[in-house]
Structure 1
Amino acid sequence: MKSTTKIQLSLMMFLEFFIWGGWFVTMGTYLTQTLGTDGAETALAYSSQSWGAIIAPFIIGLIADRFFNAERILGVLHLIGAGLMYQLYNAPDFDAFLPYVMGYMIAYMPTLALVNSVSFNQMTDPAKQFSFIRVFGTIGWIVAGLAISYVFLWDSADQIAEGALKNTFLMTGVASAFLGLFSFTLPKTPPKVSKDEKIKIGDIIGLDALKLLKDRNFLVFFLASILICIPLAFYYQHANQFLTEINVEGATGKMTIGQASEVFFMLLLPFFFKRFGFKNTILVGMLAWAVRYLLFAYGDSGELAFMLIVGIALHGICYDFFFVSGQIYTDSKAGERYKSAAQGLITLATYGVGMLVGFWVAGKITDHYLVSENVHDWRSIWTAPAIFAAGVMVLFALVFKSEKIEYKS
């Protein structure tokens, strides 16, 4: 791969995740403290991610893979996203905000697959080359968080009170417009499927992989993946709101520690996977979710602030040891025939169904423990997903039978 192509793909990946990390992390804080939403309304806004994940395969399967170059669709979707971000920036209340965020995530979620397609199409050895490109996405997410907290100070108490977090939508809108235009300069990635070739809806959403559920172990893993997304939703939806509400300075910047740990534990995963096996690896990931939420429940912004930092830093174990090892497990169980369908089915089940339920549950519980305006009983709120994650871990430990899975790095 040419060095110029590497630079292009790296910049593409940086911007892709700079955009997502630049508004999604702080949206809960913005909605509750600027637009005055309750937990249920905040959950409805975050559910846009799940609806986007559910609809994305149809955009990719029915349009991107059949009629247009991937880089062109990527450009069009990000230009649409830029316009929607500008509307979010100007939205005066939640009723005006909601349809735009729903529309935005329907446009954005397919781009996650498109940037991968554009990248893989230029690679001679994806197993070795993709990780170098993909890490720039994590860097982009981190840079967005650091900029919000330490450059613009938009998540400081006085700036939040003035509604400064609305600027995150303007910032990411500009980045989205740039990426949209830049995408048309990316290497050509033609359609994978002939427009005349018949395609089944079942192929798009991975229904062929349902045959794998006849395997008892895979069925247990599949159900556990959906269930663990319920406590996962609490973090995405309420972590930034929680940290800012208890007066943690530079909350968004501190949350980037989670992305840094994700890179570190991704490097550690092959060793752990080979040494302790799939079952133990995924159990550690589940345990990390429970421990993280207990640290949030009993930590504070004073002397116990280190507990919050440790909880954030556990993100690498939480995500890599469960979701990445789960992708490896799915790949090994599916084989060549159902490989793509199985990954699509797991994505639909987790980011679609699991997190959709999780956002709703998180909103209901947060509303239940509202003490006064913008003051919550966070200890009780975080205890709920901690207990749930621990329960899923125990059930998985008892029901899933150990089996040897090869890790292909």
Structure 2
Amino acid sequence: MHPVTRVKLSFMMFLEFFIWGAWFVTLGTYLLSELETSATQVGVAFLTQSIGAIVAPFIIGLIADRFFPAQRILGVLHLIGAALLWYASVVTDFDAFYPTILVYMILYMPTLALVNSVSFRQMQDPSKEFPPIRVLGTLGWIIAGLTIGWLNWEQNGNLGLTFRMASIASAILGLFSFTLPNTPPIKGAGKATIGDMLGLEAIGLFKNRSYLTFFLASVAICIPLAFYYNFTNPFLNELGMESAAGKQAMGQMSELLFMLLMPLFFVRLGVKKMLAIGMFAWVLRYLFFAFGDIEGGYWMLIGGIILHGICYDFFFVTGQIYTDNLAGERFKSAAQGMITLATYGVGMLIGSLLSGVIVDAFQTSGGGHNWQAIWLIPSGIAAVVLLLFLLLFKDRANRQNTTVRQPADIPSGQRELKIRS
């Protein structure tokens, strides 16, 4: 890859995730404290991500893959998004805020696939070339959180500025996208069907009972995941943690570290143990939040944040590899699309609705919340999912060692690994 192309793609990836991290982490705190919404409304606001994830395949399948160059669609979506984010920063009530952020997320979620498409089409060996570029996206999310913490916007009641910061970044990426390498529509792409766009052609994988177990566990585990995304920042701010958004960036730092270590864990643990450890980390994280505090239990709060790396990498990334291995060449893309739609679409949607109702149910008379009771609920859900997974996931068909090539988003993925099922 030409060095200039590599720099352009890296900058694109940095801005893509900087934009998301700039407002998404503190959204719950902003709504509760500055728009004075209920926790249920917070959950409704966060489920716009799920709606966007459900709509995204249709935008990509009907438009990007067949009619217009990906980089131009990326530019247009981010320019419109910039205007919507700026408007979101000035509205003063939830009735105006919600439709704005809903339209924004419907436009933003497809860009996650578009930046990958633009990147992959410029690469000869994605497994080697993509990880150093994708890691800039995680760095962008981290920098966004550290910036919010450094500027002290949470404590000063200035979280509306997060949307303006994201808006400016979105405008920059929108304009910059038109300078990216040309990524024309896929030649010979036929008429798209709903089944193609939703990845339903990979549904035959469910004949494998262990994969069906994994699939259902993936949907179920996203219910407690929504509690983390939606209410960790309000929780930490309510406890009085300074620069909470900056502290939460340690979760992404942990994600980077464990991503680098995953090849070592794979060869020693195998798929089932990796998935189980990821789910157990969810149970432990919420227990840390339930019993942690700013004084004697501060280490538990930080520990719960750092566990994000194990929660995400050991379950979701391992699941992507497991899916890639079983799907075969013909159904790889369809299978990954199906699992993404099920988790970030269906699972997170259920979790967003449920989490808001539960947080409202445990609101105290003084305006605070009984956070211990709240966090024990997602911990319990994760524990049940883990127990059922351990009982039902047998995978007898793959007892022997299987050679699996890691997907492009895994550092050190250029070499093949022996994964014990």
Q: Same fold (TM over 0.5)?
A: yes
Alpha-carbon distance between aligned partners in 2 of 1:374 and 1:275, rounded to the nearest angstrom: 48
Pairs within 5 Å for 1:209-288:
209-288=202-281
Alpha-carbon distance between aligned partners in 2 of 1:192 and 1:301, rounded to the nearest angstrom: 53
Please give the secondary structure, in 1, of the residue aligned with 2:24.
Answer: coil
Please give the secondary structure, in 2, of the residue aligned with 1:376.
Answer: coil
The residue number in structure 1 matching 2:291 is: 298
Alpha-carbon distance between aligned partners in 2 of 1:318 and 1:202, rounded to the nearest angstrom: 30
Alpha-carbon distance between aligned partners in 2 of 1:21 and 1:374, rounded to the nearest angstrom: 27
Does residue 310 of the first structure (1) align with residue 310 of the second (2)? no
Query: Does structure 2 retain, via aligned residues, the 8 Å contact 1:278–1:405?
Result: no
The residue number in structure 2 matching 1:121 is: 121
Q: Counterpart of 1:55 in structure 2: which amino acid?
A: V
RMSD: 1.0
Query: Does structure 2 retain, via aligned residues, the 8 Å contact 1:81–1:104?
Result: yes
The residue number in structure 1 matching 2:170 is: 176
Does residue 208 of the first structure (1) align with residue 201 of the second (2)? yes
Task: Structure 2: give runs of 5+ residues left out of the alignment.
Answer: 406-412, 414-421
Alpha-carbon distance between aligned partners in 2 of 1:193 and 1:216, rounded to the nearest angstrom: 37
Alpha-carbon distance between aligned partners in 2 of 1:58 and 1:296, rounded to the nearest angstrom: 38
| Structure 1 residue 268 displacement after superposition | 1.2
Q: Counterpart of 1:33 in structure 2: which amino acid?
A: S
Please give the secondary structure, in 2, of the residue aligned with 1:370.
Answer: coil
Alpha-carbon distance between aligned partners in 2 of 1:247 and 1:228, rounded to the nearest angstrom: 29
Q: Decide whether aligned partners of structure 1 residues 332 and 341 sit closer, same or farther in structure 2, where only a CA change above 3 A counts.
A: same
What do residues 270-318 of structure 1 show as CA deviations (whole Å, max 9, x unaligned)? 1111111100000000000000000000001112111100110000000
From 284, 300, 322, the equivalent of 1:329 is 322
The residue number in structure 1 matching 2:347 is: 354
Please give the secondary structure, in 2, of the residue aligned with 1:401.
Answer: coil
Does residue 88 of the first structure (1) align with residue 88 of the second (2)? yes
Alpha-carbon distance between aligned partners in 1 of 2:402 and 2:77, rounded to the nearest angstrom: 38
TM normalised by structure 2 equals 0.94
| Structure 1 residue 194 displacement after superposition | 3.9
Q: Decide whether aligned partners of structure 1 residues 189 and 26 sit closer, same or farther in structure 2, where only a CA change above 3 A counts.
A: same
Alpha-carbon distance between aligned partners in 1 of 2:359 and 2:120, rounded to the nearest angstrom: 41
Alpha-carbon distance between aligned partners in 1 of 2:367 and 2:349, rounded to the nearest angstrom: 24
| Structure 1 residue 383 displacement after superposition | 0.4
| Structure 1 residue 407 displacement after superposition | 3.9
Give the paired residue count.
Answer: 402
Alpha-carbon distance between aligned partners in 2 of 1:405 and 1:234, rounded to the nearest angstrom: 36
The residue number in structure 1 matching 2:133 is: 133
Alpha-carbon distance between aligned partners in 1 of 2:245 and 2:314, rounded to the nearest angstrom: 24
| Structure 1 residue 40 displacement after superposition | 1.1
Query: Does structure 2 retain, via aligned residues, the 8 Å contact 1:82–1:173?
Result: yes
What do residues 152-199 of structure 1 show as CA deviations (whole Å, max 9, x unaligned)? 21012xx12xxx00000000000000000000000000111446x222
The residue number in structure 1 matching 2:20 is: 20
Q: Counterpart of 2:314 in structure 1: which amino acid?
A: F
The residue number in structure 2 matching 1:383 is: 376
Q: Counterpart of 1:37 in structure 2: which amino acid?
A: T
Q: Counterpart of 2:317 in structure 1: which amino acid?
A: V
Alpha-carbon distance between aligned partners in 1 of 2:381 and 2:324, rounded to the nearest angstrom: 27
Alpha-carbon distance between aligned partners in 2 of 1:375 and 1:210, rounded to the nearest angstrom: 45
| Structure 1 residue 405 displacement after superposition | 4.8
The residue number in structure 2 matching 1:100 is: 100
Alpha-carbon distance between aligned partners in 1 of 2:56 and 2:274, rounded to the nearest angstrom: 30
Q: Counterpart of 1:179 in structure 2: which amino acid?
A: L
| Structure 1 residue 339 displacement after superposition | 0.8
Alpha-carbon distance between aligned partners in 1 of 2:115 and 2:103, rounded to the nearest angstrom: 19
The residue number in structure 1 matching 2:418 is: none
The residue number in structure 1 matching 2:416 is: none
Query: Does structure 2 retain, via aligned residues, the 8 Å contact 1:79–1:180?
Result: yes
Please give the secondary structure, in 1, of the residue aligned with 2:364.
Answer: strand
The residue number in structure 1 matching 2:149 is: 149
Alpha-carbon distance between aligned partners in 1 of 2:37 and 2:253, rounded to the nearest angstrom: 31
Please give the secondary structure, in 1, of the residue aligned with 2:87.
Answer: helix
Alpha-carbon distance between aligned partners in 2 of 1:53 and 1:384, rounded to the nearest angstrom: 25
| Structure 1 residue 406 displacement after superposition | 3.8
Query: Does structure 2 retain, via aligned residues, the 8 Å contact 1:285–1:317?
Result: yes
Q: Counterpart of 1:178 in structure 2: which amino acid?
A: I
Alpha-carbon distance between aligned partners in 1 of 2:217 and 2:357, rounded to the nearest angstrom: 22
Alpha-carbon distance between aligned partners in 2 of 1:198 and 1:110, rounded to the nearest angstrom: 19
Please give the secondary structure, in 2, of the residue aligned with 1:191.
Answer: coil
The residue number in structure 1 matching 2:419 is: none
Alpha-carbon distance between aligned partners in 2 of 1:39 and 1:155, rounded to the nearest angstrom: 18
The residue number in structure 2 matching 1:187 is: 181
What do residues 237-272 of structure 1 show as CA deviations (whole Å, max 9, x unaligned)? 000010001100010000000000000001111111
Alpha-carbon distance between aligned partners in 2 of 1:211 and 1:242, rounded to the nearest angstrom: 42
Q: Counterpart of 1:84 in structure 2: which amino acid?
A: L
Q: Counterpart of 1:381 in structure 2: which amino acid?
A: I
The residue number in structure 2 matching 1:9 is: 9
Please give the secondary structure, in 1, of the residue aligned with 2:317.
Answer: helix
Alpha-carbon distance between aligned partners in 1 of 2:350 and 2:359, rounded to the nearest angstrom: 14
The residue number in structure 1 matching 2:109 is: 109
What do residues 60-99 of structure 1 show as CA deviations (whole Å, max 9, x unaligned)? 0000000000000000000010010011011110000000
The residue number in structure 2 matching 1:54 is: 54
